[in-house]
Structure 1
Amino acid sequence: MMKTIRKQSNRIGIALLVLVASLGFTSCEDQLDLEPIVEQSAANVFDDPAAYEQFLARIYAGFVVSGQQGPAGNPDITGIDEGFSNYLRQYWKHQQLTTDEALIAWNDGTIHDLNWQVWTPANEFITAMYNRIYFQISISNEFLRATADVPESEFLPAAYKAEVRFLRALSYWHAIDMFGNVPFVTEQDPIGAFLPTQGSRAEVFDFIVSELTAIEPIMIDARQNVYGRADKAAVWMLLAKLHLNAEVYKGTDQSAQAIPYLENIIGAGYTLHTDYDELFLADNDTNGAQNEMIFSFNSDGLNTQGFGAMTFLVHAPVGGNMSAAAFGINGGWGGIRTTKTFVNQFPNGAMSVDDRANFFTDGQELEIADVFNFNDGYAVEKFKNVTSQGVPGSDASGDFIDTDFPVFRLADAYLMYAEAVKRSGQGDQGLAVQYVNLVRQRSNATPIGGFSEITDEFLLSERSRELYWEGHRRTDLIRFGQFSDQGVWPWKGNVENGTTTEAFRDLFPIPSTDITANPNLTQNPGY
């Protein structure tokens, strides 16, 4: 049962995607060319009871696959290379390339605008991220619309609808985190062509919280669902994320409200895996790391093939003198590495005794004189397509990856608890210290001596040391006021030693194509 969703995800739900052509969100229709393979209608698509699980699996798969056939050739969205269009690949780029943790050597289109923080509303990668978010929201809405009057049964348990509402809430969180005030559509809106209104960031925040609160009792208990599917703990984690970032989203400090949800997670039986490196290997669903995973985006080298998601995150960081075979792949892409700002967060840099300092330095320079040269900047050895026994992943070609991406894991919850206690003045300071030290001791980092050491600077750095390249950094930097007009790192602002950028870049622009198509939308300030 552990990989039920992933084994089906690239083969099922194909015909169901025809429904998205009438989703009721059409202001981006010039970018969303779904080209369904089999024509069906909402009236008959669920004639086969198995279709409920198939459609659910396709919604989950939307985070890791890029189209309807795999690995490429029939994309969900157009206007950009299909491999580039993948949800996880785009989300990772927006959360990581805009920060001190990652720099890309390629010169594809306007990709370096993300590194340099000089993007415009015409940036094709920002447009792809936006379209991908709304593709996921759209197919979630259609599932909920089509099943609204279907009674609960063995084929459609109540948890299915709750899981889809969670996945939609997750995408809406990504939307408000990156774009602020966004188009807002649910299953209650009509199908067909109409121009959605723009919900304020605060309004959509309130909707997400209300949705998660409503589905919490319906979700399967923590750690009882199929691996890779959402449960109560995933809901708690997203609620904690929202409340911890509420000052950014709503202008009010709600960090105290995150504490009960984090306590629920910590008390649910998750455990830190003993080996940090094994969290990011091809068998991280079975090697013990799964006991730390709260929610993951699952990959399978045979059944979720594509050139985004984990294929990107394993191939792109390998280049120079690095051994592709050691990563379980047939060759590296020489794309992404890191900056000295991140390296220097570890005592003694790349020579740190902290096990999380996974840097490859042979043939690599710490200083980045040439942003387009992969050898300028230390490489990062984090995600690999080999098992904890050193066996390569299931795809014999070495192209596609078995490693699952950790969306939420226990170590993050421990660090969030410490931050929530620090910000709110509530909770248990002793437990906050204990949780931080559990995380640090796992990787041979020196334990902290007391709560007074849990400063903003420490929290931001510790989150980076523990969670680098897991899609958290941009959101964390913004919450701590270090993203745009304060923090500086190499090549930020397209300056070798870095410079500050305009504060309005804490938000990405609404893509110009959508602003033009929908007069109900207002562009974010500064763009």
Structure 2
Amino acid sequence: MNMKKMSFYFRLILSTIMLAATVSCVDDLDVEPQDDQNVLADELFQDIEGYQALIGAAYANLALTGPDGPESSNIANIDAGTSQYGRALMNLQTFSTDEAVWTYENDPGIGDIQRSIWSSNNVISAGAYARIRYMISVTNNFLAQSTPDLISSRGFNSEETALINQYAAEARLLRAMAYYHMTDLFGKAPLLLENDPPIGYEAPELDRVELFNFVEGELLDIEEELEEPRGFVGVDYGRADRAVAWMILSKLYLNAEVYTGQGRYADALTYINKILNEGGYSLANEYKNLFRGDNDVNEANSEIIFAIISDGITVQNFGPTTVMTNGAVGSLEQNGANLGVTEAGWGGAIRVSPQFADKMLPSDDRNTLITDGRSANITNITDPATGFILEKYSNLTADGESGSDLTFSDVDFPMFRLGDVYLMYAEAVLRDGGGDQATALDYINQLRIRANAPQINSGDLTLDFIIDERARELYWELHRRQDLIRFSLFTGGVYNWALKGNSLINGTGIASFRDLYPIPANVVQSNDNLTQNEGY
């Protein structure tokens, strides 16, 4: 049995679940903090433990949903499981694409997401918005308590002050990541900062370009204040270091043409190269070990840049890896033993579109499709016996040992990893960002060699190849919607898949306004400064 080591992350999560719930209780998907003077009182921050508790609340918000276990949530009016940060991203980045089909469309909101017919009242997109806003609230609370004057007045010594300042840089990083997700998913957001009034404040709206500039500026400003890459390995596993900032900057610049109308591929390559040359990361030898229950300590640790923590005992959640282990169990196959969960799992909850399955062939080690006895086409959404399934995530360890629980996953979700950086390097080169074509080819072939896939030649390295190779390498890692949009394949009718545009078998084109999700209707109504995205 793999038990996660009691790292910084877990010590703080276990000690701050209640604080995470108290700092900002979210009601009706309204994530403005309520009166929190009882929490943010001076006495709480008279020692370093108070600051550790509050930064822990921010990290905990990535993994946990509420104070009373995985079925509790500090966001009201949404299923607790779907409100988890990684799960929220999964719903919007994965189930809106060709990568996954959710069988149980009676679950509120998910059917409209996977059929491309969501509205501003969709509870899934509204829950994602609220969870991201909650991260902004918690990090703002930390930063409000970390001003030089307050730290000085509380009598901290130089060592404690340096530690609080480092936590503050991490808080700004987590806040920037939240605004990056707002930029990508919603395209606009109210700007809430640490000095803004906590109650009744109607924050100004930033458009997508302004959000881009804010995130960029924050990350550049804190870069040198963050821990060096891999500086927390073996010490404080789970904290975000400088390479996480570089990764977000790389993503921001790679998608800048979508976000701002101006390509920034050379800038993307600058920060991609920082990760490659200064990060100290290396590819795991076996692809499958990246998605196993001990990926915090097995060889995958060398490749994972940042992860959302899961643990079947200490950090139970219905996040993406719990969903993608239980959900991948086929109703016909009863293959739960392969995935470290109960034999029946969730009864065939997830299948893939035939269009996605086509990209996985010919087979290599990344192809975990199960096709025997199954038809590729999903002719009935509620019939889990149709459509292919796959087994990417497993709650077993790399050595085949059982996880700590048969429902809740031990698999840490790899939000950022080196394999993606290799693919981004090649794409930036192909988009005239600079770099070296031979190096790009080498990075791609390193991934393919690991996967026991045939190596490619320079003539094969095209943007069309890259988008399909990203599907093969990174499926179910919450990148697909963003990738399809960057390649002009998400909306319109150039590329269709089952359920797109509410067309069951082959899909149909959808309007370009769906490249963004709507601002939740109640959020727009609560702030006169906010406007709705076009089309909603």
- Determine the structure 1 residue equivalent to 2:341: 329
CA 408–205 in structure 1, closer or farther in 2 if over 3 Å, else same: same
- Determine the structure 2 residue equivalent to 1:375: 385
1:210 paired to 2:209 = no
* CA shift for structure 1 position 64: 1.4
- 2:16 is paired with a residue whose SS is coil
Kept in 2: contact 1:246–1:253 (CA 8 A): yes
CA 359–34 in structure 1, closer or farther in 2 if over 3 Å, else same: farther
Match of 2:264 among 251, 254, 267: 254
CA 326–425 in structure 1, closer or farther in 2 if over 3 Å, else same: closer
Match of 1:341 among 336, 339, 355: 355
In structure 1, distance between residues paired with 2:256 and 2:215? 12
* CA shift for structure 1 position 454: 2.1
In structure 1, distance between residues paired with 2:212 and 2:320? 27
| Structure 1 gaps, min length 5 | none
More displaced 10-residue stretch of structure 1: 115-124 or 358-367? 358-367
1:79 paired to 2:77 = yes
* CA shift for structure 1 position 7: 2.4
Match of 2:530 among 511, 521, 524: 521
Residue 11 of structure 2 aligns to which amino acid in structure 1?
A: Q
In structure 2, distance between residues paired with 1:222 and 1:18? 31
CA 401–38 in structure 1, closer or farther in 2 if over 3 Å, else same: farther
Q: Kindly provide the CA deviation profile for residues 346-384 of structure 1, in whole angstroms up to 9, marking residues without a partner as x.
A: 333xxx1x1111112244321111122222211110111
1:457 paired to 2:461 = no
Mapping of residues 25-40 of structure 1, within 5 Å: 31-32=30-31, 39-40=38-39
- 1:84 is paired with a residue whose SS is helix
In structure 2, distance between residues paired with 1:200 and 1:326? 46
Residue 292 of structure 1 aligns to which amino acid in structure 2?
A: E
CA 389–48 in structure 1, closer or farther in 2 if over 3 Å, else same: same
Mapping of residues 281-292 of structure 1, within 5 Å: 281-292=292-303
In structure 1, distance between residues paired with 2:276 and 2:426? 12
| Structure 2 gaps, min length 5 | 153-157
In structure 2, distance between residues paired with 1:46 and 1:309? 34
CA 520–370 in structure 1, closer or farther in 2 if over 3 Å, else same: same
Task: Please provide the CA RMSD for this pair.
Answer: 2.1
In structure 2, distance between residues paired with 1:301 and 1:198? 40
Q: Kindly provide the CA deviation profile for residues 103-129 of structure 1, in whole angstroms up to 9, marking residues without a partner as x.
A: 110121221111111101010111101
In structure 2, distance between residues paired with 1:296 and 1:329? 21
Match of 2:322 among 302, 311, 314: 311
- Determine the structure 1 residue equivalent to 2:155: none
- 1:407 is paired with a residue whose SS is strand
CA 271–2 in structure 1, closer or farther in 2 if over 3 Å, else same: farther
- Determine the structure 1 residue equivalent to 2:247: 237
Number of aligned residues? 515
In structure 2, distance between residues paired with 1:196 and 1:443? 48
More displaced 10-residue stretch of structure 1: 224-233 or 428-437? 224-233
Match of 1:104 among 93, 96, 102: 102
- Determine the structure 1 residue equivalent to 2:159: 153
* CA shift for structure 1 position 429: 1.2
1:144 paired to 2:143 = yes
* CA shift for structure 1 position 17: 3.7
* CA shift for structure 1 position 308: 3.1
CA 9–313 in structure 1, closer or farther in 2 if over 3 Å, else same: farther
Kept in 1: contact 2:20–2:58 (CA 8 A): no
* CA shift for structure 1 position 38: 11
1:221 paired to 2:228 = yes
1:477 paired to 2:470 = no
* CA shift for structure 1 position 37: 12
Normalized per residue, the structure richer in helix is 2
Kept in 1: contact 2:24–2:36 (CA 8 A): no
1:489 paired to 2:497 = yes
Kept in 2: contact 1:144–1:164 (CA 8 A): yes
More displaced 10-residue stretch of structure 1: 254-263 or 181-190? 181-190
More displaced 10-residue stretch of structure 1: 401-410 or 148-157? 148-157
